[in-house]
Amino acid sequence: MVLIWITGFSGAGKTTVAKIVQEQLQAKNKNAILLDGDEVRSALGLTDNYSPEERKKIAFSYAKLGKLLADQGFYVIVATISMFEDVRQWNRRNNSHYLEVYLKVSEEERRIRDPKSLYQTGQELVEQGVLYEEPQNPDMLLEAGQKLQPEDMAAMIQQAVLDF
């Protein structure tokens, strides 16, 4: 059916927004599945290696799993940092109904939110563009500076998806 790919830095609100999108779609009797990057990684026991190569391999796994489920008629919401532009481009080429959403949050706001304490432990190098390739042409760019609440963002995403 549809692959909704929500990307952004750690602390952008991806999981929060994705859960609301899932709830909203389910309230409209849509079969919506949420694949949260952290939860999928943990469920598959992939928590040991964070090398760029391993991250890309896992990202392609998320993309292929999302496509597999979307092809079976599900509304699939993937919430992941999704560092690599080539993975997002693969999604665009291989899914007829694909919505890429970039939740953009300033570094200052990420430091305030910091749900994983990445910015306190020095792991923020991964987050500051060392590996992260910002989306070149997302279908939706939602910025925290717009003062949108997660519910507002989710409603915008849901409307875009239902317009497919």
**Choice among 45-49, 87-91, 114-118, 130-134 with the minimum mean pLDDT:** 114-118
| Edge-to-edge strand ranges of the sheet holding 75-79 | 32-36, 75-79, 2-7, 98-104, 140-143
Higher pLDDT, 139 or 46: 139
Query: For 1-54, what is each residue's pLDDT tens digit?
Result: 999 999 998 889 999 999 999 999 999 999 999 999 989 988 988 777 777 788
In the chain, how many H helices and how many E strands? 8, 5
Return the closest-CA partner of residue 100 out of 125, 74, 66, 53. Answer: 66
The residue ranges of every structural domain in the chain are 2-162
The residues with which 141 forms a beta bridge, in sequence order, are: 102
Beta carbons within 8 Å of 121's beta carbon, 6+ residues apart: none
Average pLDDT over residues 112-127: 52
Q: What interhelical angle do 52-71 and 85-94 show, nearest 10?
A: 20
What is the dotted CATH code of the domain comprising 2-162?
A: 3.40.50.300
82 catalytic residue (yes or no): yes
**Choice among 21-25, 105-109, 115-119, 155-159 with the minimum mean pLDDT:** 115-119
3-class secondary structure, 35: strand
The three-point CA angle 66-106-149 to 5° equals 65
Rounded-to-integer distance, Cα 3 and Cα 75, Å = 6
Return the closest-CA partner of residue 6 out of 46, 34, 39, 43. Answer: 34
Catalytic residue among 42, 61, 82, 96: 82
What does the pLDDT read at residue 103?
A: 95
